Structure 1
Amino acid sequence: MKIKGITDIFFDLDHTLWDFDKNSALTFNKIFKAHSIDVDLQKFLSVYEPINLNYWKLYRNDKIDKESLRYKRLKESFDSIKMIVHDDVINQLSADYIVNLPTFNHLFDGTLELLDYLQPNYRLHIITNGFHEAQEKKMNQSKISNYFKTVTNSELAGVKKPNPIIFDYALNLAVANKTTSLMIGDNLEADVLGALNFGMDAICFNYHGLKIDNSIKQVTNLKELKAYL
């Protein structure tokens, strides 16, 4: 069913438009080869991905800082597969990961088609908890920057989703109203519930197939958003 009265659409970036998992895997493959890290990539990723999500949750909740996130997610992943990697190597891998990650540009299936469909009728924006230096490069390299009027990141706003302050900051930057705005993102807590609790409508991009309440609007493919917009 079409959502009426929407003028501004706010997207999350990682895991919503930009295919983080695919680009991250390609990045690890590159930097592990460069540093002669002899590890089964799939085995590493199987432990890294949930560890990374957990550290991002801690980061969202202000339990750790950016530097701790970058180091600890790698340290804990190597420890989990019982691989000894010295701290100086972990720190270098962490730095190289940030540099190389935006050089891979895979988007979710249907991203460009959806943005082309939406742009003539809505003002489009980004709200991301990702780091400014990385997010800007990701958008430029994947050639989607021109679709968006504004980009709000947690470092600019001073808080992270789901804190209502970041949604208020994004609306002020966009000169938009919450009653005519919509948030689209993959993270139920940060993107969807964060927006809904703020008073903004939201749709969950539930590509991971999680069981969520039927009262929450959701799609499993970006192209399905056309049914709402």
Structure 2
Amino acid sequence: MINIKHVFFDLDHTLWDFEKNSDLTFEKVFKKQQINTDLNAFLEVYRPINLEYWRLFRDEKVSKKELRYGRLKKAFDSINYTISDDLIDTIAIEYIEYLSDFNHLFEGTFEILDYLKDKYQLHIITNGFEEVQYKKMKSSKLLPYFDAIITSESVGVKKPNPKVFHHALKVANANQENSIMIGDSLEADIFGAINIGMPAIYCNFNNDVKTSDSYTSITSLLELKQYL
């Protein structure tokens, strides 16, 4: 990878520990709103439902508003907890408001960014909501490391749409040959990059996906030192 000059990272599940921070946010919101149910039982059903809704959102099958309401409604229904639509809307708003209060990053995040920052230009490409992603990065002290931050909302489409990657390259004054994408989603990050001719490194942190010859796979961020 001697020609690489630009390193593009995904944010959630790649640098920013979404699951841990999300769980803590729900704990705060549930306590504030006096939601009388077992939090762990809720989270157990919410996590896959959230992933399902994000896939629908990525595929333009639900709106941002439908995602924020629908994932909560389906999760509460799954645990047979009766809750009003008004309270669901309140929880949805407070969840987004408080999410950036928690700043857990994956192990090795600052070490690898410090290692990379003097060798490459670092950028973010994220499908997350624009107003939330900047707050996350600021509160977790990630902002200073990155030159360009590209959100899908600013492009109008979401990864793996090629428009997102082409827009990101243009903003960063980069090209496919001197750039690499690092992320946790095979479909959105890895195949999205590969489909436009950009190499990619897959963050297989749970070590639950078989490796492939079409991309490099790592199980921890510090493994990037072997390649970059």
Residue equivalent to 1:71: 69
- Aligned counterpart for 1:10 among listed residues 8, 11, 25: 8
Residue equivalent to 2:222: 223
3-state secondary structure, aligned to 1:82: coil
2:46·2:72 contact (CA, 8 Å) conserved in 1?
Answer: yes
Unaligned runs of 5+ in 2: none
3-state secondary structure, aligned to 2:100: helix
Shift in Å, 1:168: 0.3
CA distance in 2: counterparts of 1:129 and 1:165, whole angstroms: 13
Residue equivalent to 2:119: 121
Query: Counterparts of 1:26-65 in structure 2 under 5 Å?
Result: 26-65=24-63
- Aligned counterpart for 1:91 among listed residues 89, 92, 112: 89
CA distance in 1: counterparts of 2:156 and 2:185, whole angstroms: 20
CA distance in 2: counterparts of 1:39 and 1:228, whole angstroms: 46
CA distance in 1: counterparts of 2:27 and 2:118, whole angstroms: 39
Amino acid at match of 1:131: F
Give the TM-score, by structure 1 length.
0.98
Unaligned runs of 5+ in 1: none
Give the TM-score, by structure 2 length.
0.98
CA distance in 2: counterparts of 1:35 and 1:111, whole angstroms: 33
Amino acid at match of 1:9: V
Shift in Å, 1:68: 0.3
**RMSD (CA atoms):** 0.7
2:211·2:217 contact (CA, 8 Å) conserved in 1?
Answer: no
Q: Deviations over 1:30-67 (max 9, x none)?
A: 00000000121111111100000010000000001100
CA distance in 2: counterparts of 1:117 and 1:31, whole angstroms: 37
Amino acid at match of 1:155: E
3-state secondary structure, aligned to 1:70: helix
**Percent of pairs identical after alignment?**
54
Residue equivalent to 2:135: 137
Q: How many residues align?
A: 227
- Aligned counterpart for 1:184 among listed residues 144, 166, 182: 182
